[in-house]
Amino acid sequence: MNQDILDKVNKKYESLGENPDAYLEGLVYAKPINYWDYIQVDTLLSLQNTRTDFKDESVFIMYHQITELVLKLMIHEISQICEEEDITEDFFIDKLYRLQRYTDMLITSFSVMKDGMSYDDYNKFRMTLTPASGFQSAQFRFLEIYATPIFNLINKKEKENLPENPDTETLFKHIYWQSAGLDKKTGKKSHTLKAFEDKYLDEFIRLAKKMTGQTVNEVLLKFEHPSEKLLNAARDFDNAYNVKWPLIHLRTATQYLEKKGEQKAATGGSEWKKYLHPKFQQRKFFPQLWKNESIMEWHKKEC
């Protein structure tokens, strides 16, 4: 065996206060690793449990599971921006490019849903999903909390209803996605929203408090003279995630829920056509970058 490698092994385990011989001996008995064990393929492929016999329900489940995995990739990257000490522009830009690429995957992959399912079958099996809704994706919300202060996730109308110096709990009562399940006239929450908040709201609030002063937007603001390359990378990600992706989601929903003038209800009960549109959500991760131009117009030809 290469002596240099042995020296590195010894140095590694001795620095941990461990006996290198024990670890080397363990290699004698360890089984070789296989691709299927490392990726846990069997477990991964066993997670598609349908509620009906419609073939396209498997497509629907797998697509959403893939989306959740992509969102996990994005949280893996975006959290590093928030946690990096003495962050450099190169590091920041690299992470924003990665986030952009993952968002592009989410945008282009919607054709799997839009063009890859039977209209009739979808509108039957989806009724067994009531009151579940993609609105209940917690990773989507975690990513937003890493990206920007909660105030930036409140639309203009709701900002007018905020008290002076609102605390984090109050901000969450006005966050844009409340409108997907809250009846403003009665103050009553839908089961979809209530179940979602019962499971995740405390965790969202804890993360938001932890990220105070450390969100990606606040990290960006610490650069006194950011380059145009960095600013454009931030704009590209903001536009892709908060405009282009919601718009393709809206178009897909329209194809299946609105046909021949008939508008079907969402499984979660929201006014989906209004809720999904970025003009209503008004999310901006980096609002200071859009003072002289509209996020809705950025790279409009590509949308």
Domains and CATH numbers, the chain: 57-302 (1.20.58)
Long-range contacts of 248-254 (CB under 8 A, 24+ apart): 248/107, 248/110, 248/114, 249/110, 249/276, 250/276, 250/277, 251/114, 252/110, 252/113, 252/114
pLDDT computed for residue 158 by the predictor: 93
pLDDT for the residue 261: 65
Residue 227 backbone zone (phi > 0: left; psi -120 to 50: alpha; other: beta) = beta
pLDDT for the residue 303: 42
- pLDDT for 301: 46
What 3-state DSSP class applies to 99?
helix
pLDDT per residue of the chain (303 residues) written in tens, 0 to 9: 689 999 999 999 999 999 999 999 999 999 999 999 999 999 999 999 999 999 999 999 999 999 999 999 999 999 999 999 999 999 999 999 999 999 999 999 999 998 999 999 999 999 999 999 988 999 999 999 999 999 999 999 999 999 999 999 999 999 999 988 888 778 899 999 999 999 999 999 999 999 999 999 999 999 999 999 999 999 999 999 999 999 999 998 888 888 756 777 777 777 787 788 999 899 999 999 999 889 998 866 444
pLDDT at 289: 97
| Alpha helices (runs of H) in the chain, residue ranges in sequence order | 3-15, 20-29, 35-38, 41-44, 56-83, 89-115, 119-125, 138-147, 156-159, 168-174, 191-210, 216-221, 228-239, 245-257, 272-275, 278-281
Q: What does the pLDDT read at residue 302? A: 46
